[in-house]
Structure 1
Amino acid sequence: MEQRILVLDDDADILDIISYILVEKGYVVATLGSGREIFQTIREFHPDLVLMDVMLGDMDGRVICSALKDKNETSVLPVILI
């Protein structure tokens, strides 16, 4: 089964670079440029890992990470803040 990674960053160039590298390594990748849709995207995409920018334009990545850890359905989802 392919590993699925959700990448969240407000810089489109960073999203493109990270996505390209991960896809080349065989991962299935979804990207988001905003934190607003992260919970919906997680429900639909079912990532195995979230790579997230700490300083997003619309939200603080640490706050999003904390919210993910507070919810039962996402509390065990690995998150790496970049």
Structure 2
Amino acid sequence: MDISSDRDRVSLQPLAASYSDASTFRAFKPPVVLVVDDDADNLQLACYIVEQAGYVALSAGSGKDALVQVQEHEVHLVLLDIVLPDMDGFQVIKQLQQRFSGQLMPVVALTALATESERLQMIDAGFSSFLCKPYAIDDLEAILGQYCPLSGLASLQTVAR
């Protein structure tokens, strides 16, 4: 059998043509998660967990850095520490709400604040949810799956690891 015969060749042309639209590829990109924490160890650990779960992690060590990251990147979910050196998480979410006027991505508070009144304050401020520090890896992964589910190629890449 001649392996170079035209009859035995597989044509990739129709497949390539069907994926020529950039929006088709966009559907297969893993979601981008911005992690904001002023503690370098917490930031590094959270980013590692996010990446191991199949997402793209961006990091910011301050509220101002977070606002820059959101301005420069398409962010699908923000994990935001409440206590930051330059502005607190409440100020950051207020700025995000003003910038995105109703089209705000989910923002989850990462906090050691655990009283019921503090939790209600976070929800009233517009946080989608909260995760109390220290948190379990499974809890962070559940938040990721709830607010930013993987689909298409991104989930296939996670399975392939």
TM-score clears 0.5: yes
Counterpart selection for 1:77 from 85, 88, 105: 105
Q: How do 1:3-82 residues align onto structure 2 when only pairs under 5 Å count?
A: 3-72=31-100, 75-82=103-110
Residues 4, 74 of structure 1: alpha-carbon distance in 2 compared, 3 angstrom cutoff: farther
Unaligned 5+ residue runs, structure 2? 1-28, 111-161
Partner of 2:34, secondary structure, is strand
Structure of larger gyration radius:
2
Partner of 1:71, secondary structure, is helix
By how many angstroms is 1:29 displaced?
A: 0.4
TM-score (normalizing by structure 1): 0.89
By how many angstroms is 1:57 displaced?
A: 1.4
Unaligned 5+ residue runs, structure 1? none
- Equivalent AA in structure 1 for residue 44 of structure 2: D
TM-score (normalizing by structure 2): 0.48
Verify the 8 A CA contact 2:67 2:92 in the aligned structure 1.
no
CA distance in 2, matches of 1:73, 1:2: 25
By how many angstroms is 1:74 displaced?
A: 7.3
CA RMSD of aligned residues (A): 1.5
Residues 74, 33 of structure 1: alpha-carbon distance in 2 compared, 3 angstrom cutoff: farther
By how many angstroms is 1:73 displaced?
A: 6.1
Bigger relative contact order, structure 1 or 2 (CA pairs below 8 A, ≥6 apart): 1
Residues 60, 25 of structure 1: alpha-carbon distance in 2 compared, 3 angstrom cutoff: same
Higher helix share: 2
**What is the percent sequence identity of the aligned residues?**
35
Partner of 2:100, secondary structure, is coil
Verify the 8 A CA contact 1:48 1:77 in the aligned structure 2.
yes
